[in-house]
Structure 1
Amino acid sequence: MQQHWVHSWAAMQQPAKATNLPSESFTLRQTARLSLGTSSHIRLRLSNAFGDRPLTIAKATIARSADNASGTNAVQPDTLHPLTFSGDPEACIPAGALVVSDPINIGGLPPATAVSISLFLPDGQLPGGIVTLHPGSRTTSWYYISGIEILVPRESSAFVLIGDSITDGRGSKTNGDTRWPDLLFSRLQTQPHEETSNSAPSISLINQSAGGNCVLEDSSGGPSVLARLDRDVLSLSGVRFAMIFEGVNDIGIAPPDPKIQAIIEKRLIAGYVQIATRLKAAGIFVAFATLTPFGAPREEDEGSNRDTTPYSHPVRELTRQRVNNWIRGHSPAVFDAVVDFDAVLRDPEDSSVLAREYDSGDHLHPNQAAFQALANHFPIDVFCL
């Protein structure tokens, strides 16, 4: 049987702020939940992408998390495996680089397995050094771990989601793995697939999203989509599908001035075209999702606050509507599919706001019920290629 490497988990890399440095300087134990499993081999990617000096890893191990739980320090001891890097237990990662571990036969892992990764840093966190991590995903933050690859049959592939806080997990349960991509993966594992003899499609879901992220400019949410596309999609193993669900922050942080918003709209659409062009050139199926509402309710309901979303403004809403109309009207000329998340979550009486049952309370971020609605709405027939 022919096999190849496919990413089963990844996290968008960002430079750490002083407020999200690890509490333990020398030993880091972190969990990550795979999507697809493997019957044999696995390997780990560690990143020093934003480091300003070399990072030494004295030793690294991987094991199955106790009780298959996320965010715990407990492991299943009999599953512990040491990792090596070109045969050496120690790895020195230059500033701006990453390292891939040697493959290990882990004995098989089922889908949705939580693994625990321990990193031992002999020098600790050097004062003033820049730490590479992924914060804010409603899982204990991931330091230096950028990806986990599995060896699987050739028909297996990866689906990468590029997004902001809505996809990264704001509003989900901490360490509960209830982001909408997690729920979509669960659906893929349980719902019969039209063209695969009623078996689940062999597709991993890779969440490359970050709160506050923008398409056009670097921000508090890390590098822009245009800047991170190569690292977060094109460099990953086995990617066959990708979806872009971003643009709300580009519109929301720009002043509500009609002239400025017109510029943002033009640049955002141009950015979408660039993203689609680059991904399709790599043979990747490209979907775009419409932008969900961020307006405040027009009438005060008990407990509501019109000031909870700073993005709410009629001028910004016009930009969102025009961008969504462009997305709906430019498939397949520019990309391969449109996923109309706006239609799923908007209030049927007022398209500028989230439906009450899907509003987390800040009128910008969807709640857990909304995440399930997004997962249920996603057209899994796009994977029948």
Structure 2
Amino acid sequence: MNRHSSGNTHQFSVRRYKTGRLALGYKVPGIHPERSPSSNSSHSMISLSLVPVLLTLLSLVGANVIPFNSTIERRDDYHWIDTWTDMPQLVESSNMPPSPFAAGSTTFRDTTIRQTLHMSVGAQKIRVVFSNTFGGADLPITAANVALPTGGKAGVAGIQASPIVPITFKGGATSATVPKGQTLTSDDIAFPVQPQQMITVTLYTQQGQATASIDGHPGSRTTTWLQQGNHVSATTVSGSSLQHWYLLSAVQAYVPPDYGSFVILGDSITDGRGSDNDMNNRWPDLLLARLQTNGLTNIGVVNQAAGGNRVLADGLGPSLISRYKRDALTQAGVKWVMIFEGVNDIGTGATGSGTQNQIANQLISAFTQIAKDAKSLGLPIFAATITPFGSSQYGDTSREAARQTVNKWILTSGTFDAVIDFDKFIRNPSNPAQLASQYNSGDYLHPNVAGYQYIANHSTGTPAPTNTPPPTSTSSEPLPPVTTTAPLPAGPKQTHYGQCGGKGYTGPTMCEEPYTCQVESEFWSNCL
């Protein structure tokens, strides 16, 4: 069957296997479905636009075709999907709240916590998920509510006087306890939200949590406010502020059946390192804006990334291979999954071809397993290529060779339903191992806002295909020569977002005024 959109022809075919599972085949200009790595024919390499593919999948669902797994029950009623998430993790000591909010073995005693959150899709009612997954003790919540931030802005201490809606639990209780190692979802909240709107969630805990091990997300890029005493309904709070989220893991929206969430699994690049605090200009935020502009208002963009995260081993937060089921496959209303990760495995691994070849092969194995599990649930899975890191602390020829191996496999193996070549988007054309200067945040690893905007723009534009033959193997074939540059020269001071410390770092440790060197993990210190 053929469908037409904006002058482009999208061809679809549906095949039924003996098991009763339906498989979707599709063709989009410049985009190719899975091909066998053993094929001898050359073909235009995938350079994917997300919007046409999502339109493809949504149009099939809208036509009452179940394109992935016929065992999935078709729902005609409203359902819950994620409209905002953060990736919960154990808060490191450097990211704990300041005194008096963290004192000895108790955290947040007699504390009001006010946090602003960026919705992706709109709904007439929502619910909030409180997280104690990594907590060392039960989490008592004395009171909580949801409101609109002053001026609709992120990171502000004030809320509008109306509406302020109490958050209740388990059928109307205004207080609750989140058991150690678990999450707690609130009752339904009659609180209409609009796409891309900011909301404020304020909670108060009188007892505090009787532990120094708490849940949080250090890379919020959004200001959180802490004040002693119960100020949940105060139109403004004062006290300490910091750029971390605590004790929340999701906001869910009650939406029509054609709505679904697009879950992105990633590291600091997806978490927004190099973006601006309180501006919501990480690349997933900017992609959301593009989707909304293109009329895809029924897709929730869900950011399940964390700075320093690795695929194969725990680091700053649990490894991707240990968390992908929790953070993607079992999330409320998930319809699509995307992987954009691997740079920290390569960059923190020992140099040398033997070690780096092993890391590349292990990444390929992990990505294959994640894709297999997603597809078994009927979830289309996308992947993005690993972006350049030449001249950063990770810069090394053996690491670059590993990046090239993994990227070539991502683009040509046929493992994923679609791929996006982020590497091509933001690399330096004259030195492909390095970020283009106009997209470099200063550390040669993380893009700046212009880079994030370019990724978002070109993930929703018309791709220009390149010609690359399929590989005959995933990791052992010869690679093209690798070009690298020398590490950043030492200098007296680093600019905004420049790296100023971390394991193995040898560059400048001072920051230009008014910025200071702030530690995010043992691997990351940046001028903020």
| TM-score normalised by length of structure 2 | 0.66
Aligned to 2:36: none
What aligned pairs does 1:245-324 form with structure 2 within 5 A after superposition?
245-296=340-391, 309-324=392-407
- Measured after TM superposition, the shift of residue 362 of structure 1 is 1.1
Aligned to 1:187: 290
Matched, 1:137 2:220: yes
Q: 2: CA distance between counterparts of 1:242 and 1:230?
A: 11
Q: 2: CA distance between counterparts of 1:27 and 1:84?
A: 17
Q: 1: CA distance between counterparts of 2:84 and 2:353?
A: 41
Matched, 1:95 2:170: no
Matched, 1:61 2:145: yes
Aligned to 1:371: 452
Aligned to 1:175: 278
Aligned to 2:321: 226
What's the CA shift string for 1:88-134, capped at 9, x where partnerless?
1111111110000000211x2211111111111121243x4311001
What aligned pairs does 1:153-168 form with structure 2 within 5 A after superposition?
153-168=256-271
Q: Answer whether contact 1:9 1:206 (CA < 8 A) is retained.
A: yes
What's the CA shift string for 1:231-280, capped at 9, x where partnerless?
21122111101110000000000011111111101111000001111111
What aligned pairs does 1:323-362 form with structure 2 within 5 A after superposition?
323-331=406-414, 334-362=415-443
**Partner secondary structure for residue 136 of structure 1:** coil
- Measured after TM superposition, the shift of residue 200 of structure 1 is 2.9
What's the CA shift string for 1:50-76, capped at 9, x where partnerless?
012111111111111111111112111
Cα gap change, 1:100 to 1:5, in 2 (>3 Å): same
The structure with more radius of gyration = 2
What's the CA shift string for 1:173-211, capped at 9, x where partnerless?
1011010111111111112xxxxxxx3341010111111
What's the CA shift string for 1:157-179, capped at 9, x where partnerless?
10011111111011111011010
Q: 2: CA distance between counterparts of 1:90 and 1:360?
A: 43
Aligned to 1:216: 312
Q: 2: CA distance between counterparts of 1:181 and 1:341?
A: 13
Indicate which of 158, 161, 164 corresponds to 1:80.
164
**Partner secondary structure for residue 80 of structure 1:** strand
Indicate which of 63, 79, 83 corresponds to 1:4.
79
Kindly provide the amino acid, as one letter, of the partner of residue 420 in structure 2. Answer: V
Kindly provide the amino acid, as one letter, of the partner of residue 255 in structure 2. Answer: V
Kindly provide the amino acid, as one letter, of the partner of residue 229 in structure 1. Answer: Y
Aligned to 2:488: none
- Measured after TM superposition, the shift of residue 137 of structure 1 is 3.0
**Partner secondary structure for residue 122 of structure 2:** coil
Q: Answer whether contact 2:139 2:208 (CA < 8 A) is retained.
A: no
Q: Answer whether contact 2:143 2:204 (CA < 8 A) is retained.
A: yes
| TM-score normalised by length of structure 1 | 0.90
Q: Answer whether contact 1:339 1:379 (CA < 8 A) is retained.
A: no
Structure 1: tracts of 5 or more residues without a match: 192-198, 297-308
Aligned to 2:197: 113
Kindly provide the amino acid, as one letter, of the partner of residue 199 in structure 2. Answer: V
Q: Answer whether contact 2:121 2:297 (CA < 8 A) is retained.
A: no
Matched, 1:204 2:300: yes
Indicate which of 19, 22, 43 corresponds to 2:94.
19
Q: 1: CA distance between counterparts of 2:77 and 2:180?
A: 35
How many residues of Structure 1 are paired with residues of Structure 2 in the alignment? 357
Aligned to 1:300: none
Q: 2: CA distance between counterparts of 1:200 and 1:319?
A: 36
Q: Answer whether contact 1:210 1:222 (CA < 8 A) is retained.
A: yes
Aligned to 2:18: none
Q: Identity of paired residues, percent?
A: 42
Aligned to 2:252: 149
Kindly provide the amino acid, as one letter, of the partner of residue 71 in structure 1. Answer: G
Structure 2: tracts of 5 or more residues without a match: 1-75, 102-107, 224-243, 463-528
- Measured after TM superposition, the shift of residue 335 of structure 1 is 1.4
Q: 2: CA distance between counterparts of 1:283 and 1:129?
A: 40
Q: 1: CA distance between counterparts of 2:83 and 2:419?
A: 24
Q: Answer whether contact 1:137 1:210 (CA < 8 A) is retained.
A: no
Q: Answer whether contact 2:140 2:208 (CA < 8 A) is retained.
A: no
Q: 2: CA distance between counterparts of 1:223 and 1:28?
A: 25
What's the CA shift string for 1:132-172, capped at 9, x where partnerless?
00112312311111000011110011001111111101111
